[in-house]
Amino acid sequence: MTQQQTTGGDVRLTGISKTYGSFTAVHPLDLTVPQGSFFALLGASGCGKTTTLRIIAGLEEATTGTVSLGGKDITGLPAYKRPVNTVFQSYALFPHLDITENIAFGLRRRGVKSVRKQVGDMLELVQLGDFARRKPHQLSGGQQQRVAVARALINHPQVLLLDEPLGALDLKLRRRMQLELKRIQTEVGITFVHVTHDQEEAMTMADTVAVMNGGRVEQLGAPADLYENPKTTFVANFLGTSNLIEGEIAGCGTDIVVSAGGGKLRLPGDRCSAPAVTGGRVLLGIRPEKISLAHADAAGRIAEGRNRVTGRIVDSSFIGVSTQYVVESPAGRELQVYEQNIERDARLVPGAEVVLHWNPAHTFGLDASQSKLAGTMGDAGVETVEDVS
């Protein structure tokens, strides 16, 4: 692999698109996955992420565009000639072969004679040493998943593709496998491209996340960057929860002043992806955990310079580490607020009049011409393409 490091083993998609008849699964997209990174393609089902992955694997032919690996064009190469291996969602272990033969499959196809040592090492890496002679159906879901990873990794691919490999596992096991996969990736240093619809999974595991929607990449960046600076309402809503308040720009400077819900709110000018023109419409975004909640009687003690919105609590739910409030206000019908359970104000119950306040620096601005609901659960704004995997 040292050779790839010097020449650069980046995966580069250029103008890749896929259409089925009149149906566009992937719009022309350009994507670069740097060598050695853990890259996640995140999106709702049918957003084109699996199709993109299969194009890299060579299991699907792109309608247009090229795929290159380490500077070499592999667009025309069939799947079995690409130095790329896949962990399938259903694991796709060969039912007629035992675990050893499953893992050795790739080596044997390439004419490697003595596979014993390598298979042993792999079994150790995924901690399945005692299961070498079992058949896949005798293993649990988590164990099968690890066999699938071992079967791919043993070939030392330049890129490992993971197609929702944790989807079939229960929550607890999924958390464990996330850490496990991350550990393996750090250990072997191979580029991982991970497809998932689980935003938490993508954020915990990946260095870089590409959020896909309707066959397009909406935004690409490090998890924290995507979370703090979403550029579209889809990203704002799909990654975590966002409060989006619509308003009119009243003044521009280093800070943009927006009038919304009968008050004035400020946001840093460099955090606004919408055109800043006085009189223009803008969506103001703020994450629920960034908001503090004060009872209306205590409003006077709120520090100067903070953004304020008045409202009334309509619902509260105790989560343990935090309490989640739903607040009705002129600025928005259902504003979400998460408060840490440190010093709970007993007056903060449904029906109470409250003031929401936050540091203006935590506010981001979005173009108001897009749907406020894009990317929310059960939202019609999520553009989907048929799942063709």
Question: What does the binding site for other proteins look like in residue numbers (CB under 8 A)?
Answer: 57-59, 78-81, 84-86, 88, 90, 92-96, 98, 105-106, 109-110, 133-135, 138, 151-152, 155
What is the distance of C-alpha 355 from the center of its chain? Answer: 33
Q: For other proteins, give the closer residue by CB, 92 or 252.
A: 92
* Element holding 304 (H helix, E strand): none
- ∠ Cα 74 75 77 (to 5°): 65
Q: Nearest Cα to 355, choosing from 296, 306, 283?
A: 296
Tokens found for residue 135: 């058949």
Q: Nearest Cα to 297, choosing from 346, 350, 353?
A: 353
* Beta carbons of 16 and 62 less than 8 angstroms apart: yes
Q: For other proteins, give the closer residue by CB, 85 or 233.
A: 85
Least distance to other proteins, CB of residue 180, Å: 21
For residue 177, report the phi and psi dihedrals to the nearest 5 degrees: -70, -30
CA distance 9 to 361: 39
Tokens found for residue 147: 């066999």
Q: For other proteins, give the closer residue by CB, 158 or 329.
A: 158
Q: For other proteins, give the closer residue by CB, 132 or 348.
A: 132
CA distance 139 to 141: 7
Separation in Å, CA 358 to CA 293, 305, 362: 9, 9, 7
Q: For other proteins, give the closer residue by CB, 135 or 264.
A: 135
Tokens found for residue 288: 């629920």
CA distance 104 to 124: 14
Q: For other proteins, give the closer residue by CB, 106 or 332.
A: 106
